[in-house]
Structures are given as C-alpha cells and as structure tokens.
Structure 1
C-alpha cells in the first residue's frame, strides 16, 4: 500500500473536496511533520482514499463508479469535520490542523462507511510508517528538538516556548506510571504546535497528545487527567489567590491549606457556599487534605467533575478536587457535635473513592441550596387541581437535581365519567404529555436533563395506550418521547398469563381500592370487580386475553425500550413499612420502593460503595467494608436533616421515615480482581455473600445510629420492630405465591444477634439499601457502574462531557503479560466491537473472564440479582442485556425475573449493528471543556446506541406478529408463553441499529438523577 497514509499532506489552498466540481470550505492551514504551517489541500485526501482502495481492491477500483462516489463523499465528510475542529474555540479564522488529525479522520470515515478491510490496511500502514519515523528520529536529531517556537500569553505578549517546563509538567504527569513514555507525549504535542500558539492551546495540546495514546496503554488516561489538572490548578489558584499562580502537584501539599481558606471566603462572598463553612477550623481541615489524591482520577472522571460539579464564577472554576470533596464533607457534618472530626472522616472516605455520594449531594452539599436527595416518588390524585399540582411538584423537585417517579394509576381512564362537566375523560395520556414536556423544560440549570418515570398498573383501562407512549408513529399529542415509563405489574396478572386466562381492565374511579391492595387481598377484590363488570355494574371496563396483553408489553419493550417491567407485590410484601402505607411505584431508575400517598412524597438519599476498592485477589476485605458502611450510613442519615425540601410533602415523608439507599458499584471490577467470570457459579455466590456483608453492616449501622439519635418515627409496627429483616421477608412473598419463589435462601453470617439488636435498639432509617445505576459517579471513581457487566473491552463512551475512549485496563495488563497486547490486538478489538470471542489467539480463560455484556447470558444477571435481592430492603437497577432479542427469549427472561422474586427490572439492552468506531479512537476523546470552552459537544459515535432509535427497527416483534399470525402467543396454559421467533424478527434483531437503547448503553445522561 505504497505512499497512501502520507498522501494526506498539505500543498495549496484550492478548497477542492471532490472530483465532481463541488467545493467545501476547508481549514486554512495544516501543520506538517516538520512543524511548519502550510496551506491546506483537500485534493490530497481524495488521492489518498483512492490509493487506499486501489491497494486493497486492485486496479478495478480505479474505474469503479461506486469507489469514486464513495471517495467524493468521504472527502467531503473529512473536510467538514476538520472545518468544525479548526473553528471550534479558535475564532473566525480557525486554527491549523495537524497531519495526524487529517489521517485520523480518514480512518474514521473509512470505518463509518463500512470499508473495514481498506481501513484496517490503512491503520497498519500508518503504524508501519510511524515506526519507521521513530527509528529514523532516534538516529538523528528531530526537527522538533531544534525548532524555535513562541507562545502568545493571555495579554498578547509573545514569549519563547519554555521547553523545560513542558518536559517537567509531562514528566510529573507520567510519574509512577512505568509503561508510559513522557518523551512520546512531548513529541506528539510538539507536532501540533505552531509559532505564536496560545497558552491555552499549548496546555490543551499536551492533554490531547496523552489522550491519543489511551487505546494503546490505558495508563495514559491518568497522564491526560494530570495534565488537565495542571491547567485547572492554574485556573482555580489564580482565581482564588488573586494572582497568577503556577503550581506542581507536589507543591499542592503546601498550597492546599492556604487555598482552602481563600476558596471558602470566595464561595461565601459569591453567595454559593453556606456561611457556616467558615465556622469550621479551616486550618485543621487544610492539614487533613490529601493533595496526592488529585492524581488518582482518570481523564473521564476529572473532565466530568470539571464540566458539571466544580463551582465556578461565570465559567471560571475556583474549586479544586480536594476542596470539592471537603466541601461535601463539611456540608454533611454541619450538625455533628464534633464537626471537624466528622468532616475529616467523611472527606477521607469519599476522596479515597471507597464510597461516593450521589450526584445531587455532590452538586449541592455545603452550598446555599443544599438539595441533597436523589429520588422522589409521588402519587397523582384523580382531580384536575391534583394533577397539575403534581406536575408543578415535578418541576420544583427536578430543579435541584432530583429524579422523579410518578404513580399515575389513580387518574381515571378514557371514557370515565366526569361529574363536574357531565362529560367523559380523555384518560391519563394527555397529562403524561404535559409531564413529559415539563421534564424537558426543567433541566437543572443545564447541568443535566430533567428526568421522570411514569408508572401505571396493568389493570388500568389506559394501559394499552400507555404501552405506545414511546413509539415514533401515531398521534404526537399522545406520545412522550422524553419520559420513561414502567408497568406496575401485580402477581395476579403474571399468574393469569401462566394459566392462559383473561384479564379485565378497569377505570380507577370505579375500582379505587385496587390501587392500595396487593397479594391475596388484591386477588380477592379484583375477582369481585370482574364479577361486577359481568353483571353490568361498572361503566368502563374491557376484557382481554392476559397472554395477548403480556405480548404487547414485551413487544413495546422490544421496540422502544419502554415501559419497563416492575412487580407490585414483592415490592409491597417485603416492604418494612407496609404497616403505614403502600408502595405504588418505583423511582426513575427502579431501585427505590417507598410508600406514597396524597400527603407524602417519598424521598430517598443515595450513595454507593466502591466494591472494587474492598476486594483483592484474596477476597473481600470485610473489616474495611464494615468501616466504610458505618461511615456511609451516617453520612446518608445526615442528608435527611440538612436537606433543602422544595415541597412540604417531601419533608413530611423524609422526617417521618428517614429512608436511605446504600448501594454499590464496581462489581465487575471486583470479579476481575477475583479472576471470576461473570458467567459462573462463583460470581453468583460472590454477589450473594458480598451483599450479605453489606446488608449486615448497613442494618447494624442504622440500628446503632438509632441508639445514638433515636429511631425513625414510624418504627413501631414495622417489619424491623417485629424482628423481620430483609432476608426474613422473602418468606412473606413465598407464602403469598404458594411457594412459587425459586431462590436459594442460605446465609453465611449469624443473623440472630442482629435481629435482637434491631428489636431492642430500633432503626434510624425505615429503609437502608438500594442499588442505583451510578452512571456518573462510577465515571468519577473510575470503575464499572453499579452491578453491570463490562459493556465492551474497548469502546467510545458518550456523555454530556463528550466522547471518551474506554479501555479495559485489567484486560490490557493480562494481555501484555502474555505478550499479546499490540497494535494488531487493538485493531482486532475495534473490528470485533470490543469482544475477545472471535480473536483466536486470546486464550480461553481470558475470553471467559472478559466476556462482555452481550456475551454473558442474561440468566446469569438474573441469578446474581436475585441473590442480592434477598438481602436488600428496597430494590436494584437491573439492566438486562440480550444480544439478539426475540419473543421466546424475552418471555423467558421476564418470567424468570418474576419467579426469582425480583422486585423490578430496568432497561432492556440490545446490541446494535455497529458498536464502536473500528478505526483509531484517537481524537474522539472528550470535549476538553476545561481548556476550550467554546468547543461544541462531540457528536455521539456512530456506533454508540443513542436514545430512542429502537422504534426505527425493521418491524421488530410487532412486524413479525403481523407477518406471521401463526407465530403469535399461544393462549393454552403453559409454564412458558412462546412469543414469535420468525425470520423477520431475527433479521430485525440482527440489523436494527439500536434496540431498546433509550438511555444509551454506556452513558447515563437520562438516568443519572439517581447517581
């Protein structure tokens, strides 16, 4: 493939971008390999692409109309991308683009066009020539080493480039990382510089240079983060101390205490920090700061904090990472008797990444608007004023970062009588549309999208319309494209499906008590209403086949990702608080199960243990875990008293019951440390025993807090007060179902003493555990989110901070030890979407250990989740991954989830046709807002599933049913309802660009309200 890569160089500026006479605006200049700024020539791109096809497909490609059209289109695409990059944050004239940037875009466009063979040859050719250049440069002095450059300071002055400081900053960023090469970072950065480069551009070039190497060595993510940290230090220190301040990482040990005082003073002057923070002994707290912990961030983690968490004045950040953690710690210790000691304890816990508070707590703790709670659950009443009051409440709760779960079941259905007007109701859907638009409008100050989930019970007369809310077809006035939805399914419905029976839909204004009933009481009353309907005593009702409705539920889930399947009876039968109310819904992310009514809006306060930090190759560090849990529960309990409540019903409920939700993240990382494949009995057992340890420690911590501070007000009569712990409540569900719960109930700890302690001392919190998705805080900590399997071993992660290269560092270490980590392996991982399964030279043990989410049979996810659920008093956000979904698989999956006693499920994830950019990931990584605030957000990767697109699938299950009625669900009694598994469904499953990807698999923008 002679002289292909190096054809993409610079000559003249003619603007030509294609061979058909069309022109496209081009960048003004290119920085060549000698560091010279020269005019841009788009025709070189076209020539390089043509030669790439010739080298791969032979001389016939030269006369192929298809190839010529492809080359023209690809050239235009590359030039348009380069124009955007050139202009971003650099004024109207644009900045020069580097040769490597041009070649990176050529690779990207080849892969996005599906020309994988051409692109793979191009990648390997580039690497070959890069290696040759490195060997040549090693033998002779490089141009970069002698080239003289000037830097333009912020006041416009030109000064010589301080190469010694550049080298020192990079060397410091690489310290302690033996596999990275600081000289390579400097050399790469120097290639992109030009005479007169700005200070900000210089700093950005260093970050970008390190970032381009992340896919080859994951440790470069730390180098990138530390180089970004160098810029942030200058920004924050200069802003707080009032003079331009440059500081190295070691110097921060002395500077942080002085900076902390100035930071608190400035934050209070700006009206952002609670004035009570100044009452702390700041000298004592300053001495407790662990400055070295600034170096533990990944690039994704630090960029995320910069973009959305650090306090700023008109875009200029004045909050550094350790001040951020200390601000949160002080904010949670305000009411403590020994507040400095507690603040230091809290600070050390979160800054060590052993535990992390939820996003609302991180956003707002220690500020003048301390809305610290994560989740709010409401019940909407059946009258116009109540409906619109609920929508107003949604807006007020979402304003300061709360995620919402709305129970809409009480609202009367279509055709129901309206006494005030003597008319007929239009049902619940028009009001859901308003709630949807409210969530879009209230976007939490631009920090992240407002988010809400609407719940409806399966017997509601509007349930079939509810299933269609997320479709991209039909009346737009009855669609809610931005709202999450979930079915609230009674056990009786699942039993009718299994029996092939009928199911009757009612309007809640005629059957109001069904809303508050569950278990045997619900089944008895429901049968009475069915008898009344048969006698003509009810105005609005409709009978359907239970299996047909179940099929529609799964079809909607398959096509749109919604509504999710959640189960009413286990949520209520196992609720510690069933003596004072009913659980009518879950929350935005399906892990919270708290009572709601007209006077109480349920509130939950979340935080997550980093399980990976407590796991080594020898197993779980139980003592460290117990210490973490005790401090974490105290922090979560403090949230309740310090919280800013935007509506009185939320404060009433939180003060009455004091629920918290302690969860976990990094489960997959813990399995890597233990060398356990996700698809193994040992992993299921670890899920069981690790959650048992957390459960025991959390319940004990809450009970000990009750001994210190008093039990929550509604403790008497709760399951706790009766000595019924979460593990014991499983028997209540088993009894209600006549023994139909398939779950191992074994234990490894002695629970009798804890039962006695809880009855004697009480509980500080009505609920203690819930496993949230941790979509954002896991990014900050740098571990796999929540209980999720590894999505891909190499992929591009998209979130509000841009696109980031994610590489499984554990896999890279293992492959490197066996001599298998090289450029070809990187290329193969891209080609096979981050999966090892098709790469023959990878040993079987590593293929099993590093199997990705869609390679793990979803039954393993269910089994592990069920073993955790027996210890949890609330629920868990459980995503289910299905590589090629069809009717039979989905039916079996959700029937199994119910039989295992799970309370809720979350997103159905289905693999897409293309998952990651299969060419180089260099240059796609992040927005770098910290150093180019004017740069627009990077578009999601073509291969990354994005919100909502599932409805565009080629027919999906519904099309298969229409095409093949014979394949529809059988109505005969059967333990397994068989949904269609036709060729059409299989084709749709294979080729749909995105199935059920409503939240974006690797990103949590829409569900991070629970983080």
Structure 2
C-alpha cells in the first residue's frame, strides 16, 4: 500500500529552505548511491519511518494520529542531528541519513520499529547486490566524476593525487589504512563537487574511522593540515601552492617573514615584531611538530586561534606558536633567544599559555590575561562603573568574577531618596545582559560569575537566579553564580544552629573580615539584631539554608560552593587586602578593592609530557616551570590593560597562575587507577614538585628583576610558604582541619632562599579548567578523570569522536579490540563496567568520571591544595545526585580545607551514536539487539547541572 505522510511544513520547512536557526541561504544536498545529488527532503524521512511502523503494527499505523505525532517528532530530531554542524561545504550521504533515522527510533524507545527499519535496509542492500545496482568500485566510479574550481571550471578528480595526499597523512601511523580512508572519501563525493568540499571529504572520511582506531584522529589532523597549508601559502604567495610534508621546512623558512609583513600590513600584528631577526626565528621552526596534533586540537586551532584576514588564515601552527612566543619576548634583552626558548616550550606541548594569551600575543591589543576579579560598591555610580568595567574587560577575552556582597539588600533604606532598595538582583540582571552583549571579540561568549556572601539578606533570591521558573526579570540565565561561604556558617551547619541574614549597609565591616575576627563581629551583629538595632535581618536554620544551596546546585548547577576563610587565611597577600571572591572558574583567589581589580595570568604544564621511567621527570619539569614562570611574568608587563585599576593591581602584586593538565593521562601512563591511594599520592607528589620548582623559579627571577612591590609583610617575606599556611587555617578552626601535611622535599632551604632573595610574584599556582588548551595539546583536561572511554565531544568547532588511546592499546595487547568491543563501548556509553570479557584490572584502571566515587576527587584535590597558594577548578561528578550525597561531599571538601569547588557534573544523555551498532557484514551486533530494551532508560537521564562539552559553558571551552 502506498503511504502518503503529510509532514508538517512548519516543522520541516525551515530546514529544507534554510530558514529557522540555519543561515537563510543554506540548503542541503544528498549524495545518492549513484553519486548524483538531490535536494534534502525531510518528508522522505517521515515516509521511511512510517513504513517501519507499518511493518511492526500493521497498515493501520499509516493513518494513526499517534504514529503521525511520533514520526513528526522523531523526524525533527533527525534533521537537527544532521544539520547541527552542517554547512554549504558538505553534502549528506544517504547512508548517513539512514543511520540517524535508526538512532532516532532507538532513542525514542521504538526498538521493534528500529529493528524493522534495520532489516528493511539490509533487504534493500541485498536486492541491490543481486540486481547489480550496488555502488560500483570507487576507482571506476570516479573516472568520470568532476569537481568545480573557484572559477566555475569543471575538472576531473585526480584519484591518484587524492590517494597520494591520504598516503602522506597515514604515513608512520600504526593501525590505519589509507585504502579505507580513500574508499570512504570516494563514497562521499559526487559529480560537480566543489574544490572546497573535495578537500574536506578525506578529513571527514578519516574522522568516521576514529572509533575503530584512535590514530585516525592524527590522519584527520594531517589532512586538515594539508587543507590549511594550501589556504595559508596560497594566500600569502598570491597563487596556488601545493606543499607536501617533506617540503615544509623550506616553505616555513620562506613564508615566515612574509607572514609577519602581511600581518603588520593588515593591522593584525604588532609592528614591533618586524624588528626581530626573522630569519633566525624561521630557522628555529620545527615543521615536524605539526604532525603532533590530533584532529580536535588542530580543528580548534583552525577555528578559533589562527589569525585570519577576511576569513583566510594567515598562520600555520608553528608560526602561530612563534608569534605567541615573540609577543611574550618583546621586552627581553636577547629577544630572539627567549622567543625560541618560549616557542620550544609551546610547540612541544610541554606548557601552554591560556586562551587570551594565545589569541592576542603579538597583536596590537595584547590583552593576555585570563580573568579579572572586581568588588562592586554600594552606590549607583559605582555599580554602573562596575558593569562598564565588565564590558571593557570582556571585550578582549577576559572572564569576570564580581563580588556583589557590599550592595545593600532588598528593603534596606536609601537615604538619598528616602526610599527602599530593590536589592542586588536587578543589578545582577544588568550584569548578566552585559555579558551576553559583549562576546569577547566574537571569539567566545562573554562570561561572568557573581559571588555573594552567605549572610547577605538577598542570598535566598540569589540562589534562585538560574531557575527556569518565576519572574524572568529576577533571573540571570547566562550568568554563573557562586556562594562565598565563611567558616562560621559551616560550623553552624555542623551544630544545627541558627544563621542570621543582614543587609551589608547595616553591617559593612563583615565584608572585610574573615576567620575568628569575622565570627566575633558576626555574633555581635546578631546581638544587635536581637536588640532591634538592625533594621533589615532574618533568622533561618543554617542547615535549611545549606540544604537549599545544595538543592539549587543540583537543580540548576548554581551557585557553586566556595569558601571565604581558607582563601583568606592562607593568602600570601593578607597584609595588603582581602579576597572577596574567586574568578569565573574558581581557581583564582586575589585581593580586590575599589582601587584594585585583580588580574590572573594563566598557563598550564602538560603533566603527561613529564612522565618517564615510571615517575615524574624532575629535570624536565624544572626546566619547563622555570621558562613558564618567566613567560607568565612577562605577560604582566606586556599586557594591554583596559582599565587602570587592573593595571595598578597587576603591576604592584604581579600574580600568576601556573597549573597542570593531562593528570589523567599521567595516571594512565603510570598504570594507576584514579580511584586509588596511589593516585592521591601522585596528586600530592606532582603538585609538591610543581610548587617547589615554581617558587624557586620566581625567587631566582626576583634576583634578576626584583621582588614584587608589596613583598614586604607578605607570608613569603615572613618565611610562610603555602604548606606552612595550613597551620593558620587550622588555628582559626581550633585544630579541626582534617588535612594531610606530609612533605618530601627540602622546604627549609627554599624558605631561606625566598626570604633572602625575595620572590617575583605574589601568587604562583592555580589550576584552571584548561578545556580548550588541553584539546590543542591532545591530553585530558586539567585534573579531570576521563569523561568516557568512547564518546562524541561537542564544542564550538563541531563534534569529535574521542577514544581513550591508552585503553585501546591495552585491549589490543590482550586481543580484545574488535568491532564487538567498539559496539559494546558505544552502547554502554564508554564504560567498561558492564562488559563481561574485560578483565577487572582494566575496569579499575579505566573507570570513567561518573564511576569514580567523588570522594577520591576531593581527597586528591586536598593533597594538591596544601601546595597551592591559590585554588583549583574542581569539578565533581555525580551520576544521579541526591541531597544526602551532596551534603556529605561538600562537607568533606570544607573539612579537608579546599578553597573552592566548581561545576557539579551530573549524568547526561549519551553522546555516542548507537545507530552504527552493526557488524561489517551489515547485520545487527548482538549487543545492540540484547541491549535495545534498556536504551530508553539510559537516554532518559538528564543533566540538571552542566553536561560535558557544553559549547555555552566556559569550563568546557
């Protein structure tokens, strides 16, 4: 029976016509099996789905309103999946569309219908083979297939040249097949394909094979590199240039001075770069390091970091690193020598600067700092100046942390108007909208985090800011929020005591107090409130407010939990001011005031690159840290400051934030499970080494350049190092700090060295999220456990299949890496736990983030925290959070002396494409059929906090 399915024009017309969320001029084409093109018609998807329902439920399904509604909703999901990252450069293959239809049916819980659809596809493929209508061999098929040049000329595709390019990309890589990449490439080309599409086709072909062999990520990167070389070199030379890998040493030397000249001419580079010895620098470039990129890293670099003029890239990867190095060496005596030293560190991936430094180093507006911390005053001029400062700081890629605790609360008296205040929330709404409007130069979204102390009368409204219900004028959907919690509050929670909320205009001294001084004065204000001497106040049960904090954290992912007293009591700079908040990513803890905006200058050591012989390579780490500290210190002097308060603060105190990434990679290399005492010891040991070398490097730099301006009176000057400052926190808590204080190195001599020589930087260590720079380096993010062993990572550059290469190596060595294992990993969302044939030792070693008990993450973080003068971006992973569990975890974090925590990650719907759970012969993998009954339950899990790789999340970018 013929089926006519009236697909809603309003639901699908936007996609086929290029309206809705897609660019207006964007249409999609489908590559048929005969290599011809036809327009993408979503209604055909609806017909195919309806036929599958008819096969299962009978002919009545064709006219069923229920089936019609299901089909329409599933079709929408298919079209969204197909077009999410599509553009005019790529046509969709018909098999790709059918894979997405199968996936949509399974995700919708229609497993029998999905199976019927799979069987229908198999039957159609069999009939095509028997009738001789199956696709011809790739070599024959392309003999008449042509591509269209930029001028519109049609030329025959040179399959031999295409094969040569793919051979180059596969050269020297184990487990990859140039033939497989070529076959997949030819399957996705058609007559009349554009030259741009043709250059993209092998990249996407190799990408589809990553799930079977991680080395295909390098193949994809090398193919993208080929495309990038052609774009850059042809643009620089003004004519088409073809560059084989073997020719790149010569090309780099010839091209580098032309790049600098072009960059200066177009206003993209600082003219001062032309004063370097460009031939010396060009000779120091290492083209072979281009091959170290994985696809995600190079695509991220291509999309977001490489300088471009009218959309045409001017930079190749090694010139990008050299440009950054030159920008950081501008004020060195031997600029060329230092630039080469900095370049070596960056291009080897031993160390990577933060994103703003990579964006702007060597440019006319070299704003190189990552985050800025401000405190907002309690007057209208000051509030709106703070909002303006946010805009100016965000314009050049700065993230923002604002302390709002001084702004008077709802109902407080306004003397100037004889009225009552609307509280802090309306101003937070203004700050939220400003962050959206100023989007960091078009490179990433503006990002801000608002901090409020727990005693503020508006704290309950503050907790609700990210809710999706209620008055939208009192919601800040785009702003991060964080609780700034004093120890006294946590003690009241532990004691099940009461807690009093105040408006800061009536208790202004609380803002600048911490530790015992805060506790004493707070109790005095409570007595004043009981006497009626405080107008605006409210008494609540401390544990009730705590539970509400955790409830909002679970439901909205905000506000984050951060602790005021550990940040201040362990601060080396407590003699010059007070820390009123952390930053956007909760790793920076610096003083702020009306006259000083704190600035953090970040970079991260790639810990995985410093593992050898079963442990940390101390000599290599010391060399890396010494150079990295110098680079970060240079940022302070070179930096372009958009407001004077930031310049004043940064030059006076000279803080930097050196962190780590690749911690999980290092554990894999050492064969240490994350959930183990050995991992906690390694976290302790590695951070002690890093801390020791960073302090030593900064102290030696002080001999050359002088100590920072406010050194006298600091903890450094008093001989109190970060490990020693634990005693100050413990004293404030009257001996109740539960924290390991062991050490391995000779800290006595280092104390004496710092006191004698001084130190160049007020603050040295902070562990940032490193989401994007770790992608560039191809290692795990920051201190995070593995998210999945196999998953699809989504970010601003698209979607990327990520496979744990360490796991694949282990499975190969035991004869367990095959297509069934790939299918099992896909189905079980990258987890080894449910896969019976995987040995227990590998299950322990390759536990994923949601399988590792969060207490292990907190214990490892506590060991690191004793060595860190600032803080760390600590995400917590809880698959299905509940109140009791969160209460236990966050109390543990406080008891262990952690300064801050970051996102609460909860289990998201799967990112792995289950639609390809088939064997090579096209038949369903047994695991797919057996497991299909529970797919919908897994897919139904949602992420109330922040799911991984959210393109809108600062931590994920």
The answer on 1:98 being equivalent to 2:98 is no
Q: Which residue matches 1:559?
A: 555
Q: Distance in 1 between matches of 2:361 and 2:651?
A: 18
TM-score normalised per structure 1 = 0.87
The answer on 1:511 being equivalent to 2:514 is no
Distance 1:382 1:150, change over 3 A: same
Q: Distance in 2 between matches of 1:886 and 1:96?
A: 45
Question: What secondary structure, in the 3-state scheme, does the structure 2 residue paired with 1:776 have?
Answer: helix
Shift of 1:287: 0.5
The answer on 1:1006 being equivalent to 2:942 is no
Shift of 1:539: 1.4
Q: Which residue matches 1:918?
A: 914
Q: Which residue matches 2:23?
A: none
Q: Which residue matches 2:31?
A: 31
Q: Distance in 2 between matches of 1:792 and 1:807?
A: 8
Could you list the per-position Cα deviations for residues 607-630 of structure 1 after superposition, in whole angstroms to 9, with x for gaps in the alignment?
001111112461211111111111
* Residue among 251, 260, 284 paired with 1:255: 251
Distance 1:814 1:87, change over 3 A: closer
The answer on 1:269 being equivalent to 2:265 is yes
The answer on 1:194 being equivalent to 2:141 is no
The answer on 1:546 being equivalent to 2:545 is no
* Residue among 499, 514, 522 paired with 1:526: 522
Could you list the per-position Cα deviations for residues 379-436 of structure 1 after superposition, in whole angstroms to 9, with x for gaps in the alignment?
1111110111111000001100001110111111112111111111111111111001
Could you list the per-position Cα deviations for residues 837-872 of structure 1 after superposition, in whole angstroms to 9, with x for gaps in the alignment?
111122111111111111110000000000000000
Structure 1 unmatched ranges of 5 or more = 1-15, 923-986
Q: Which residue matches 2:944?
A: 995
Distance 1:215 1:738, change over 3 A: same
Q: Distance in 2 between matches of 1:495 and 1:83?
A: 53
Q: Distance in 2 between matches of 1:731 and 1:128?
A: 73
Q: Which residue matches 1:89?
A: 88
* Residue among 893, 915, 922 paired with 1:897: 893
Q: Is residue 489–residue 542 contact of structure 2 (8 Å, CA) maintained in 1?
A: yes
Shift of 1:826: 2.0
Q: Is residue 17–residue 75 contact of structure 1 (8 Å, CA) maintained in 2?
A: no
Q: Distance in 2 between matches of 1:89 and 1:138?
A: 28
Question: What secondary structure, in the 3-state scheme, does the structure 2 residue paired with 1:285 have?
Answer: helix
Q: Distance in 1 between matches of 2:549 and 2:671?
A: 38
Q: Distance in 2 between matches of 1:85 and 1:403?
A: 27
Q: Is residue 570–residue 733 contact of structure 1 (8 Å, CA) maintained in 2?
A: yes
Shift of 1:1005: 4.2
Shift of 1:368: 0.2
Q: Which residue matches 1:108?
A: 103
Q: Is residue 854–residue 911 contact of structure 1 (8 Å, CA) maintained in 2?
A: yes
Q: Distance in 1 between matches of 2:627 and 2:870?
A: 20
Q: Distance in 2 between matches of 1:85 and 1:490?
A: 44
Shift of 1:920: 3.7
Q: Distance in 2 between matches of 1:132 and 1:814?
A: 41
* Residue among 637, 654, 657 paired with 1:658: 654
Q: Is residue 617–residue 673 contact of structure 1 (8 Å, CA) maintained in 2?
A: no
Q: Which residue matches 2:747?
A: 751
Q: Is residue 18–residue 72 contact of structure 1 (8 Å, CA) maintained in 2?
A: no
Q: Is residue 82–residue 100 contact of structure 2 (8 Å, CA) maintained in 1?
A: no
Distance 1:899 1:719, change over 3 A: same
Map of 1:860-899 to 2, 5 A cutoff? 860-899=856-895
Q: Distance in 1 between matches of 2:392 and 2:349?
A: 31
Shift of 1:715: 0.5
Q: Is residue 82–residue 97 contact of structure 2 (8 Å, CA) maintained in 1?
A: no
Q: Which residue matches 2:20?
A: none
Q: Which residue matches 1:497?
A: 493
The answer on 1:784 being equivalent to 2:780 is yes
Shift of 1:641: 0.2
Q: Distance in 1 between matches of 2:129 and 2:616?
A: 45
Distance 1:123 1:667, change over 3 A: farther
Shift of 1:106: 2.1
Question: What secondary structure, in the 3-state scheme, does the structure 2 residue paired with 1:627 have?
Answer: helix
Distance 1:311 1:456, change over 3 A: same
Shift of 1:989: 12
TM-score normalised per structure 2 = 0.91
Q: Is residue 566–residue 903 contact of structure 1 (8 Å, CA) maintained in 2?
A: yes
Q: Which residue matches 1:292?
A: 288
Q: Which residue matches 2:622?
A: 626
Q: Is residue 614–residue 620 contact of structure 1 (8 Å, CA) maintained in 2?
A: yes
Greater shift in the superposed pair: 224-233 or 704-713: 224-233
Q: Which residue matches 1:348?
A: 344
Shift of 1:137: 14
Q: Distance in 1 between matches of 2:515 and 2:123?
A: 68
Distance 1:544 1:899, change over 3 A: same
Q: Which residue matches 1:73?
A: 72
Q: Is residue 34–residue 135 contact of structure 2 (8 Å, CA) maintained in 1?
A: no
Distance 1:495 1:746, change over 3 A: same
Q: Distance in 2 between matches of 1:479 and 1:39?
A: 43
Q: Distance in 2 between matches of 1:222 and 1:128?
A: 36
Q: Is residue 5–residue 47 contact of structure 2 (8 Å, CA) maintained in 1?
A: no
Q: Is residue 119–residue 919 contact of structure 1 (8 Å, CA) maintained in 2?
A: no
Distance 1:143 1:360, change over 3 A: closer
Structure 2 unmatched ranges of 5 or more = 17-26, 919-935
Q: Is residue 7–residue 46 contact of structure 2 (8 Å, CA) maintained in 1?
A: no
Could you list the per-position Cα deviations for residues 941-988 of structure 1 after superposition, in whole angstroms to 9, with x for gaps in the alignment?
xxxxxxxxxxxxxxxxxxxxxxxxxxxxxxxxxxxxxxxxxxxxxx99
